[in-house]
Amino acid sequence: MMNFLTYLINGISLGSIYAIIALGYTMVYGIAKMLNFAHGDVIMIGGYLIYIFASSLGLNPVLSIVIAMAGCTCLGIVTEKIAYKPLRNATSNLAVLITAIGVSYFLQNFALLVFGANPKAFTSVVSWEGISLAGDELKIQGVTIVTIVVSLIILLVLQLFINKTRSGQAMLAVSEDKGAATLMGIDVNKTISLTFAIGSGLAAIAGALLCSAYPTITPYTGAMPGIKAFVAAVLGGIGSIPGAMIGGLLLGVVEILSKRYISTQLADAIVFGILIIILLVKPTGLLGKNIQEKV
C-alpha cells in the first residue's frame, strides 16, 4: 500500500513536469495554431543552461533557473521571429510544422556539437532531502514535492494572467479569431511573441525539474518528454490550459504505475494506448471544445 502511494506520488510529480511542458504546447497551439515540435528541445537547452551555471560554475540554483528562463525566453522569441513568423500565412499548415522539425534538429545538433553526446551529470536544483511519513515507510523526495508545488503555482499564475490581465485577454482574443482581434486594436505579432516567450520560459522550469528528477542530461533529453507532453496536451484538449494540466497528470501517473506493475518496456505503449482510447471516445480531448464544421 505504501509502495503504491510512493509510486502514485512519483507519478503525480512526473505528470506535473509533463503538465508544465504541455502548457507551453497548448498555449502556442491555441494562439499560433502550430505544433511546435521544437518545444521539447527548448527544455533540453534550458537544462544545459542550468547545468552550465549551477553544476559547473556553482552558481545559486534559483539564480541559474532565472538565467535559464531568460535564455529560453529569448530563444523562443528569436526562433518564432526567424523560423515561424514568415510562414504564418503559408498555404499549407505543414510548412511551419516541417520548419519546427528543422529547428528541433538544429537545437539537438547544436547541443551535440557544444556538449557532446555523452550524458552529463546534473546536480539537482533542489537540495532538500524530502520528508518521511508513516514511520519512515513513506518517503517523499524533496524534488517530488517541489515539482508538484511549482506546477500548481504555475497553473494558478497562468490562469490569473490570462483571465485578469490585458495581455492575457489579448491572447484569448487572438486564439479565438486573429482577424477580429486585429480589428479590435490588438497587436497580434506582439501577442504571439509573448506566448512563445511564456511557453519557452516554462520549458526552462520544466528542464530544471526534469533534470533534477532524472539527474543526467543529453542532447536528446527533451525529445521524448516533449512528445509525451504533446500527447498530454492533446489528451486534455489542445488549447485548453486546465486540460493540459489534467492530461499531464494522467499521463505521468499512468506511466509510472504501468512501469512498476506491468512492464517497463510496455509503459510507453500503454500511455499511447490511453491517448487513442480517450480520443476515440472524445475526439477533441477531455476538455476540448467541439467545433461544428460549417459549410
Partner 1 sequence: MLKKLSKTSRRDYITYGIVIAFYLIVQLFKVTGLLSSHMEGLLVPLTYYSLAAVSLNLTVGILGELSLGHAGFMCIGAFSASLFSVYTKGLLPGGLRFFIALLIGTILAAIFGFLIGIPVLRLKGDYLAIVTLAFGEIIKNILAAVYFGYDEAGLHISFKSFQLQGEGKMLINGAMGIQGTPTDSNFTIAVILLLLALVIIQHLIGSRDGRAIMSIRDNRIAAESVGINITKYKMLAFTISAAIAGSAGVLFSHNTSTLTATSTYFGYNVSIMILVYVVLGGIGNIRGSIIATTILYALPELLRGLNTYRMLIYSIVLIAIMLFNWAPKAIEWRKKNLSSIKGRFAK
- Closer residue to partner 1 (CB): 181 or 238: 238
109 belongs to the binding site for partner 1 (CB under 8 A): yes
77 belongs to the binding site for partner 1 (CB under 8 A): no
The three state secondary structure string of the chain is CHHHHHHHHHHHHHHHHHHHHHHHHHHHHHHHCCCCCCHHHHHHHHHHHHHHHHHHCCCCHHHHHHHHHHHHHHHHHHHHHHHHHHHCCCCCHHHHHHHHHHHHHHHHHHHHHHHCCCCEECCCCCCCCEEEECCCCEEEEHHHHHHHHHHHHHHHHHHHHHHHCHHHHHHHHHHHCHHHHHHCCCCHHHHHHHHHHHHHHHHHHHHHHHHHHCCEECCCCCHHHHHHHHHHHHHHCCCCHHHHHHHHHHHHHHHHHHHHHCCCCCHHHHHHHHHHHHHHHCCCCCCCCCCCCCC
8 belongs to the binding site for partner 1 (CB under 8 A): no
Residue selected from 52, 103, 126, 194 as contacting partner 1 according to rule CB under 8 A: 103
280 belongs to the binding site for partner 1 (CB under 8 A): yes
CA distance 253 to 242: 17
273 belongs to the binding site for partner 1 (CB under 8 A): yes
293 belongs to the binding site for partner 1 (CB under 8 A): yes
In this chain, which stretch among 3-11, 209-217, 227-235, 244-252 interacts with partner 1, using CB under 8 A? 227-235
Min separation Cβ 90 and partner 1, Å? 4
> Shortest CA distance to 40 belongs to which of 9, 17, 62, 63?
17
CA distance 105 to 227: 14
Residue selected from 12, 249, 275, 287 as contacting partner 1 according to rule CB under 8 A: 275
Q: Give the phi and the psi of residue 233 in degrees, each rounded to 5.
A: -65, -40
Residue selected from 64, 99, 195, 258 as contacting partner 1 according to rule CB under 8 A: 99
3 belongs to the binding site for partner 1 (CB under 8 A): no
Q: How far is CA 197 from CA 41, 203, 253, in A?
A: 15, 10, 29
Min separation Cβ 280 and partner 1, Å? 5
Residue selected from 50, 209, 238, 251 as contacting partner 1 according to rule CB under 8 A: 238
Min separation Cβ 84 and partner 1, Å? 10
Min separation Cβ 206 and partner 1, Å? 20
Min separation Cβ 78 and partner 1, Å? 13
Number of chain residues interacting with partner 1 (CB under 8 A): 46
43 belongs to the binding site for partner 1 (CB under 8 A): no
Contact characters 13-42, partner 1, x per CB under 8 A = ----------------x-----x-x-----
91 belongs to the binding site for partner 1 (CB under 8 A): yes
Min separation Cβ 125 and partner 1, Å? 28
CA distance 59 to 20: 24
The contact set with partner 1 (CB under 8 A) reads 29, 35, 37, 83, 86-87, 89-92, 94-95, 97-99, 101-103, 105-106, 109-110, 112-113, 223, 227, 230-231, 234, 238, 263, 265-266, 268-269, 272-273, 275-276, 279-280, 283-285, 293, 295
